[in-house]
């Protein structure tokens, strides 16, 4: 620390050791202030001097005249008269050729040419197919960058003034006519016209009320129709539901019929097989009976056994037929409709008869087996009886089979087909009824259309009634005017000065500017940018004028310094000069150019921090990179002129500038000074000042640590430049 202070004291003594050094130091301190002050004063309020900008005006308007307007009207002359009274720009009234040629040569900044059809276009704006009235505007964009923007504003104001005067003239004429109506009403002919007008107004009012009553009648009709439509929709829906239930019942019937058909199919197969097998079995029984009785004398015991076996076979047939008969009665008959019960009962009766005859045959066979040993005459009689019983049983089985296949089964098949057809028809009818119900009550339906129509007729009736009331009011007003000749209410509305009311109608809205964080002038708003640029240029001038390497070695009055001590110690003189620069600049802004900051001390504080940070950055660049560091500082200055947002809003700059702006120290210095001049919002001054001071950290890191590897290379570069005898 002692060595650092020794170097600082040495630099201060050298800075005041001679007059020449003092002059150089004075120049280093004053030059940034001159840069800032001159630019602020020059741009203090440039828009107050726009009357020195020359703009040519050429009027070629030929005027307008019509049957309704026997006197010629030249709107272009009125525009010229208005411009002569306007001192915002220096208007020169010349011919069209002179205006265009003077703009091209640079004699005029811009030119306005009023076309020959100007009045005609203005006075026929209401006709069909008419175009907007146009004024030719010529501007010389080469002469100056800012002048075209100023003259554009002047041309826009001319257009606005023409529109305002035109609207004011039309309003004044119309209101003048209305204001003279009171005098006209006193005339006898006018009274007669008003009488007829009052009668017509009464007729119109009566017609409006009649139309309103008609609309109310339609509303009532629609209102009474809606319940009918809703009832029809409900009926259709309930019918569809009933048919849906019927469809379900028929569907169940169809399922039952199908089930019956399946059962009958299975039963028919079993019954057919059983009856067919029974018929064949009875033929076999008859043959065996003949064989048995033929050998009855010789084999009585064996014959008795054989007849008993035949009786058992017959009993088996009886049991099978009885099972089939029970299945038909228990399983099939409950599924049948009433129309098929007669045929079913007839078939079952035939089957019962077959079972009875088979049972009789079986009983007789049992008796024959017991009596097989009787006399031959009795045996032969029994033989004949058995043959007859067998034939009757076989015939009964055949009759039962014929009764089923010929009568019952065709009716059942026909019944199932009929049920299926009826079910399909009911399905179709139910769908159509459901569709009808939806169309009556659903979205976009007749019911919805009637509701919309009801609202429409109600609104129409209200509107007609309201219009009729307005006509009644008009009739009352006309009657009052006829009776009294008084238009005081209308006169009070217009006022004694129609021209003043016309001016108000032409420009009904006035713009009141409410400044937020106001400044005294444009120059005051530009002070932050000019101050920041001046301080950065001042830091560059210090690095060019003062050596960054202190004297070392033999003969030096300074002790041996480390690189860090030399870096910190020599920056002392840089910091002192930068501090004086910022103090003079900011004090001059407060007291000389009088930017009238809201917080004068904070403006000076921001200048101090900015100058010290800028000086440290430039000093570090030069210490680390030598002459290349000076070039790097100049490059950074060029980028900060636009990237800091000091002149133009960042949002209108290219995206690249918007991206790098937060990483430029000048950006935060400008924001801090703006807050000090215009006012602080939510501690934005201290936030910007903190970000600005943070740029000292990377500069110190580069100067104390990262620059060490560059020391040798930098010394060699300086030696090489010195050897050229030029640099």
pLDDT (tens digit per residue) in 157-187: 666 655 555 555 545 544 554 455 555 555 5
The residue among 352 and 437 whose pLDDT is bigger is: 352
Q: Could you tell me if residue 438 is inside a domain?
A: no
Lowest average pLDDT, out of 234-248, 395-409, 531-545, goes to: 234-248
Distances (CA, A) of 382 to 17, 290, 378, 387: 175, 11, 6, 9
668 burial via Cβ count (<10 Å: 0-12, 13-18, 19+): buried
Q: What's the gap between Cα 609 and its chain centre?
A: 49
Q: Is the pLDDT of residue 269 over 60?
A: no
Q: Is the pLDDT of residue 305 over 90?
A: no
Q: Is the pLDDT of residue 250 over 50?
A: no
Lowest average pLDDT, out of 104-108, 415-419, 478-482, 675-679, goes to: 415-419
pLDDT at 511: 58
Q: What is the mean pLDDT of the chain?
A: 74
Q: Is the pTM of this model over 0.75?
A: no
Q: What are phi and psi of 545, to 5 degrees?
A: -90, -30
Lowest average pLDDT, out of 90-99, 144-153, 568-577, goes to: 144-153
Kindly state the average pLDDT of the residues 130-152.
70
The residue among 130 and 473 whose pLDDT is bigger is: 473
Which positions ≥6 away from 269 have C-beta within 8 Å?
none
Kindly state the average pLDDT of the residues 519-542.
90
Q: Which long-range contacts (CB under 8 A, 24 or more apart) does 616-619 make?
A: 616/571, 616/574, 616/575, 616/696, 616/699, 616/700, 616/703, 617/539, 617/665, 617/695, 617/699, 618/536, 618/539, 618/540, 618/542, 618/543, 619/539, 619/542, 619/543, 619/548, 619/570, 619/571, 619/574, 619/703
Q: Could you tell me if residue 434 is inside a domain?
A: no
Which segments within 115-252 are labelled E, that is strand? 136-139
Q: Could you tell me if residue 685 is inside a domain?
A: yes
pLDDT at 535: 95
pLDDT at 385: 72
Q: Is the pLDDT of residue 154 over 90?
A: no
From 378, 405, 427, give the residue that closes a domain.
427
Q: Looking at the structure, do residues 160 and 120 belong to the same domain, yes or no?
A: yes
Domain count along the chain: 3
User: Is residue 279 within 8 Å of residue 392, measured between CB atoms?
Assistant: no
CA distance 649 to 196: 68
Q: Looking at the structure, do residues 701 and 719 belong to the same domain, yes or no?
A: yes
Q: Is the pLDDT of residue 109 over 50?
A: yes
Distances (CA, A) of 385 to 283, 317, 354, 359: 15, 20, 17, 14
The residue among 713 and 645 whose pLDDT is bigger is: 645
What CATH number has the domain bearing residue 71? 3.40.1710.10
- Read off the tokens for 12: 């201060």
Q: Looking at the structure, do residues 254 and 360 belong to the same domain, yes or no?
A: yes
Q: Looking at the structure, do residues 11 and 58 belong to the same domain, yes or no?
A: no
Q: How many CB atoms lie within 10 A of CB 487?
A: 20
CA distance 37 to 25: 19
Nearest of 607, 571, 519 to residue 33 by alpha carbon: 607
CA distance 66 to 448: 57
From 129, 153, 181, give the residue that closes a domain.
181
Kindly state the average pLDDT of the residues 324-353.
74
What CATH number has the domain bearing residue 333? 1.20.1420
Q: Looking at the structure, do residues 17 and 98 belong to the same domain, yes or no?
A: no
User: Is residue 209 within 8 Å of residue 461, measured between CB atoms?
Assistant: no
The residue among 252 and 10 whose pLDDT is bigger is: 10
From 131, 162, 181, give the residue that closes a domain.
181
Annotate 458-472 with b (16+ C-beta within 10 A) or e (fewer).
Answer: bebbeebbebbeebb
Q: Looking at the structure, do residues 395 and 318 belong to the same domain, yes or no?
A: yes
Q: Where are the alpha helices (DSSP H) in 295-340?
A: 300-327
Classify 137 as helix, strand or coil: strand
- Read off the tokens for 240: 């569809």
pLDDT at 674: 92
Which positions ≥6 away from 456 have C-beta within 8 Å?
none
Confidence of residue 260 (pLDDT cuts 50, 70, 90): low
Classify 328 as helix, strand or coil: helix
Per-residue pLDDT of 428-462, as tens digits, reads 655 665 665 565 555 445 567 667 767 777 877 78
pLDDT at 47: 63
pLDDT at 581: 94
Q: Which of 29-33, 150-154, 406-410, 608-612 has the highest mean predicted lDDT (pLDDT)?
A: 608-612
Per-residue pLDDT of 616-644, as tens digits, reads 999 999 988 888 888 999 999 999 988 88
Please, what sign has the CA dihedral across residues 576, 579, 583, 589? positive
Q: Looking at the structure, do residues 92 and 30 belong to the same domain, yes or no?
A: no
pLDDT at 190: 60
pLDDT at 585: 95
CA distance 260 to 419: 13
Q: How many CB atoms lie within 10 A of CB 374?
A: 14
Classify 90 as helix, strand or coil: strand
Q: Looking at the structure, do residues 267 and 154 belong to the same domain, yes or no?
A: no
The residue among 77 and 300 whose pLDDT is bigger is: 77
Q: Looking at the structure, do residues 301 and 321 belong to the same domain, yes or no?
A: yes
Per-residue pLDDT of 382-414, as tens digits, reads 667 767 777 777 777 677 667 666 666 666 666
Kindly state the average pLDDT of the residues 310-330.
76
Nearest of 25, 32, 116 to residue 75 by alpha carbon: 116
pLDDT at 710: 73
User: Is residue 205 within 8 Å of residue 471, measured between CB atoms?
Assistant: yes
Q: Looking at the structure, do residues 6 and 133 belong to the same domain, yes or no?
A: no
Q: Could you tell me if residue 391 is inside a domain?
A: yes
Q: Could you tell me if residue 387 is inside a domain?
A: yes
Q: Could you tell me if residue 447 is inside a domain?
A: no
Identify any residues that bridge with 139 across adjacent strands, giving them in sequence order. 110
Q: Looking at the structure, do residues 316 and 391 belong to the same domain, yes or no?
A: yes
3-state helix, strand, coil in the chain (%, to 5): 80, 5, 20
Q: Looking at the structure, do residues 528 and 649 belong to the same domain, yes or no?
A: yes
Lowest average pLDDT, out of 45-49, 210-214, 375-379, 605-609, goes to: 375-379
Per-residue pLDDT of 662-699, as tens digits, reads 999 999 999 999 999 989 988 999 999 999 999 999 99
Q: Could you tell me if residue 195 is inside a domain?
A: no
Q: Could you tell me if residue 530 is inside a domain?
A: yes
Residue ranges making up the domain that contains 26: 2-44+521-723
């Amino acid at each position: 620390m002692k060595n650092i202070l020794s170097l600082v004291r040495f630099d201060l003594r050298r800075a005041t050791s001679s007059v020449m050094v003092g002059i150089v130091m004075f120049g280093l301190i004053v030059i940034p202030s001159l840069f800032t002050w001159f630019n602020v004063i020059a741009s203090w309020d440039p828009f107050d001097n726009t009357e020195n900008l020359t703009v040519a005006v050429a009027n070629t308007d030929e005027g307008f005249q019509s049957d309704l307007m026997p006197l010629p009207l030249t709107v272009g002359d009125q525009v010229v008269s208005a411009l002569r009274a306007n001192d915002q720009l220096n208007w020169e009234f010349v011919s069209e050729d002179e205006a265009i040629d003077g703009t091209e040569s640079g004699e005029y900044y811009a030119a306005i040419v009023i076309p020959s059809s100007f009045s005609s276009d203005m006075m026929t704006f209401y006709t069909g197919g008419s175009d907007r009235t146009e004024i030719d505007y010529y501007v010389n964009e080469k002469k100056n960058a800012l002048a075209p923007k100023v003259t554009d504003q002047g041309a826009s104001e001319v257009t606005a003034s023409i529109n305002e005067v035109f609207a004011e003239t039309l309003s004044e004429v119309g209101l003048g006519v209305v204001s003279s109506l009171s005098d006209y009403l006193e005339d006898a002919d006018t009274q007669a016209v008003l009488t007829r007008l009052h009668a017509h107004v009464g007729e119109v009012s009566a017609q409006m009320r009649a139309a309103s009553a008609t609309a109310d009648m339609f509303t009532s009709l629609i209102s009474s129709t809606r319940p009918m439509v809703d009832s029809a929709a409900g009926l259709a829906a309930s019918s569809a539901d009933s048919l849906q239930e019927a469809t379900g019942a028929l569907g169940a019937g169809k399922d039952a019929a199908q089930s019956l058909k399946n059962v009958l199919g299975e039963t028919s197969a079993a019954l057919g097989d059983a009856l067919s097998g029974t018929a064949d079995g009875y033929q076999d029984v008859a043959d065996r009976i003949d064989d048995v009785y033929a050998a009855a004398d010789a084999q009585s015991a064996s014959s008795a056994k054989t007849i008993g076996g035949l009786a058992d076979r017959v009993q088996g047939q009886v049991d099978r037929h009885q099972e089939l008969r029970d299945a038909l009665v228990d399983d099939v008959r409950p599924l049948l409709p009433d129309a098929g019960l007669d045929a079913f009962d007839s078939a079952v009766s035939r089957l019962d008869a077959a079972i009875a005859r088979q049972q009789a045959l079986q009983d007789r066979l049992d008796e024959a087996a017991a009596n097989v040993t009787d006399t031959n005459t009795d045996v032969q009689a029994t033989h004949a009886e058995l043959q007859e019983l067998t034939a009757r049983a076989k015939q009964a089985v055949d009759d039962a089979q014929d009764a089923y296949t010929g009568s019952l089964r065709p009716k059942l098949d026909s019944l199932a087909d009929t049920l299926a057809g009826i079910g399909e028809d009911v399905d179709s009818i139910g769908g159509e009824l459901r569709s009808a119900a939806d169309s009556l009550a659903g979205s976009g339906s007749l019911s919805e259309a009637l509701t919309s129509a009801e609202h429409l007729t109600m609104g129409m009736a209200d509107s007609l009634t309201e219009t009729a009331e307005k006509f009644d009011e008009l009739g009352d007003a006309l009657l009052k005017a006829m009776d009294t000749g008084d238009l005081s209410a209308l006169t009070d509305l217009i006022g004694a000065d129609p021209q003043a009311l016309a001016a108000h109608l032409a420009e009904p809205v006035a713009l009141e500017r409410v400044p937020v964080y106001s400044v005294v002038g444009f120059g005051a708003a530009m002070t932050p940018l000019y101050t920041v640029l001046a301080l950065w240029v001042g830091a560059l001038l210090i690095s060019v004028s003062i050596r960054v390497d202190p004297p070392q070695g033999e003969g030096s009055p300074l002790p041996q310094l480390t690189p860090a001590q030399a870096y910190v110690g020599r920056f002392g003189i840089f910091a002192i000069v930068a501090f004086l620069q910022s103090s003079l600049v900011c004090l001059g802004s407060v007291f000389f150019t009088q930017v009238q900051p809201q917080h004068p001390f904070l403006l000076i504080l921001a200048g101090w921090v900015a100058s010290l940070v800028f000086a440290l950055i430039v000093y570090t660049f030069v210490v680390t990179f030598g002459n290349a560091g000076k070039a790097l500082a100049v490059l950074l200055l060029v980028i900060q002129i636009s990237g800091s947002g000091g002149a133009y809003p960042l949002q209108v700059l290219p995206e690249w500038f918007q991206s790098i702006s937060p990483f430029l120290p000048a950006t935060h210095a400008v924001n801090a000074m703006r807050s000090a001049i215009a006012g602080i919002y939510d501690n934005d001054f201290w936030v910007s000042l903190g970000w600005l001071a943070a740029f000292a950290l990377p500069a110190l890191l580069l100067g104390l640590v990262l620059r060490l590897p560059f020391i040798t290379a930098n010394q060699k570069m300086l030696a090489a430049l010195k050897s050229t005898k030029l640099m």
